[in-house]
């Protein structure tokens, strides 16, 4: 059942109970305690589906780690530039929200009126267990980190692109392939490797909150099936849930509706909507597939004939920006 989101400021946070070893002295994670881990599949996910909760966490300077499992190269093996550009867009959106949180807290002020953020190229890597993984410390923000696994993004029903030997998270999860390589083909992971990375992040990061996408959604077995959410998003959430069940802990877990938001009603108040919109457009500057204004977003949805057109998230941004829902 999908239920509306609620503000978390007055909610009591449960402490994570873990049974693993303590973090090492040279932790790859931010040197801050508690806060939230956002697990996502695609680069854009936390901005479309987990915001404004994300903004509220940044507003009170919580310790934030976002994990992005896949990279969007447009299905082109040589298009690493696109992957990096979208990552810069996400980082700029995060820094934009962080800068806003440390500025004037007037809820009636548009974030776009605040200081413009410059893109900073970043090639930082961190060591998570035996794996060297790309990460952004969001320069100048000691409480925020984004981790990129850069696994190949799939088509809507989980089919991998030919450029990446048709590998996909869904195929890996369903044991259709033994391993999956990153978009630059430099690293290969088994399913257990991916789970080990997620385990280490949850164990050593020691967050109070885990925020993930909808693991309840079933994976369709063919393109004729009734599938509301992209399989990358569903599998990313199922992997996180599998790990949490294996390591045995209780914590404050929020599960978010993703693509299925297009079927729901608007539920954000005006201040939250403004914050979500402005953060999205900071990202959209780096993603040519996304609408670049509210008018364009609205026109894409208005001109869409859902009975004749296959679902694409870029056509429903106007709806996503007005909504945030939890799934139970």
Q: Is 271 helix (H, G, I), strand (E, B) or coil?
A: helix
The confidence band for 244, taking pLDDT boundaries of 50, 70 and 90, is very high
Give mean pLDDT, residues 44-56. Answer: 99
Edge-first strand order for the sheet with 36-40 is 2-4, 325-327, 252-256, 209-213, 36-40, 64-71, 144-152, 131-136, 125-128
Position 7 pLDDT exceeds 50: no
Residue 148 CA: distances (Å) to CA of 43, 123, 134: 9, 11, 5
Crossing angle, helix 191-205 and helix 231-247, to 10 degrees? 60
pLDDT at 105: 39
pLDDT at 27: 87
The confidence band for 327, taking pLDDT boundaries of 50, 70 and 90, is very high
CA distance 160 to 215: 20
Give mean pLDDT, residues 162-180. Answer: 96
What is the token pair recorded at 207? 């967050």
Neighbouring C-beta atoms of residue 135, cutoff 10 Å: 21
pTM (2 d.p.): 0.87
Position 257 pLDDT exceeds 60: yes
Angle at 213 between CA 208 and CA 218, to 5 degrees: 135
Of residues 287 and 76, more confidence is placed in: 287
CA distance 90 to 283: 5
Per cent of the chain over pLDDT 70 is 83
Listed by start position, the domains of the chain span 2-327
pLDDT, tens digit (0-9, with 9 covering 90-100), for 104-139: 434 443 434 333 434 445 578 999 999 999 999 776
CATH 3.40.50 fits 2-327, yes or no: yes
Quote the strand ranges of 24-143, DSSP E. Answer: 36-40, 64-71, 125-128, 131-136
Task: Provide the mean pLDDT of the chain.
Answer: 86
pLDDT at 111: 38
Nearest residue to 235 (alpha-carbon basis) of 154, 323, 131, 133: 154
Neighbouring C-beta atoms of residue 110, cutoff 10 Å: 12
Nearest residue to 197 (alpha-carbon basis) of 111, 265, 126, 257: 126
Name residues whose C-beta falls within 8 Å of residue 269's C-beta, 6 or more positions apart in sequence: none
What is the token pair recorded at 19? 């049974």
Residue 43 CA: distances (Å) to CA of 82, 103, 127: 11, 26, 21
Give mean pLDDT, residues 57-62. Answer: 95
The confidence band for 1, taking pLDDT boundaries of 50, 70 and 90, is low
Nearest residue to 169 (alpha-carbon basis) of 106, 286, 179: 179
The confidence band for 17, taking pLDDT boundaries of 50, 70 and 90, is very low
pLDDT, tens digit (0-9, with 9 covering 90-100), for 200-233: 999 999 999 999 999 999 887 666 656 789 999 9
Angle at 87 between CA 147 and CA 190, to 5 degrees: 45
pLDDT at 103: 56
Q: Is 39 helix (H, G, I), strand (E, B) or coil?
A: strand
pLDDT at 18: 35
Q: Find which of 30-39, 271-280, 305-314 is predicted with most confidence, using mean pLDDT.
A: 271-280
pLDDT at 78: 81
Position 149 pLDDT exceeds 70: yes
- Pick from 60-69, 99-108, 118-127, 193-202: least confident: 99-108
Of residues 157 and 237, more confidence is placed in: 237
pLDDT, tens digit (0-9, with 9 covering 90-100), for 259-292: 999 999 999 999 999 999 999 999 999 999 999 9
pLDDT at 76: 83
Of residues 252 and 224, more confidence is placed in: 252
Q: Is 235:170 a contact under the CB 8 Å cutoff?
A: yes
Position 67 pLDDT exceeds 80: yes
């Amino acid at each position: 059942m999908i239920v509306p989101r609620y503000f978390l400021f007055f909610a009591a946070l449960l402490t994570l109970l873990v049974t693993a070893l303590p973090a090492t002295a040279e932790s790859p994670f931010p040197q801050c305690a508690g806060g939230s881990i956002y697990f996502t599949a695609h680069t854009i996910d936390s901005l479309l589906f987990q915001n404004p909760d994300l903004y509220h966490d940044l507003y009170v300077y919580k310790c934030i780690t976002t994990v992005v499992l896949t990279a969007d190269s447009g299905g082109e093996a040589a298009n690493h530039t696109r992957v990096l550009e979208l990552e810069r867009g996400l980082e700029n959106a995060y820094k934009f929200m962080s800068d806003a949180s440390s500025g004037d807290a007037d809820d009636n002020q548009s974030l776009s009126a605040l200081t413009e953020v410059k893109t900073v190229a970043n090639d930082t890597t961190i060591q998570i267990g035996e794996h060297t993984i790309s990460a952004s410390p969001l320069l100048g923000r000691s409480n925020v980190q984004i981790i990129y696994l850069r696994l190949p993004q799939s088509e809507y029903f989980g089919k991998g692109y030919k450029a990446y030997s048709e590998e996909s998270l869904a195929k890996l999860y369903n044991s259709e392939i033994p391993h999956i390589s990153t978009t630059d083909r430099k690293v290969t992971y088994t399913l257990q490797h991916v789970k080990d990375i997620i385990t280490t992040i949850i164990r050593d990061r020691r967050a109070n909150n885990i925020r993930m996408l909808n693991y309840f959604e079933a994976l369709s077995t063919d393109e004729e099936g009734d599938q509301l959410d992209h399989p990358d998003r569903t599998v990313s959430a199922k992997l996180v849930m599998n790990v949490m069940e294996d390591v045995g802990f209780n914590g404050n877990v929020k599960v978010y509706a993703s693509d299925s938001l297009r079927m729901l009603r608007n539920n954000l108040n005006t201040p939250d909507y403004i914050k979500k919109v402005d953060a999205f457009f900071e990202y959209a500057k780096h993603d040519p597939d996304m609408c670049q204004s509210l008018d364009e977003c609205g026109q894409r949805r208005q001109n869409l004939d859902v009975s004749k057109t296959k679902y694409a998230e870029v056509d429903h941004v106007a709806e996503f920006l007005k909504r945030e829902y939890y799934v139970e």
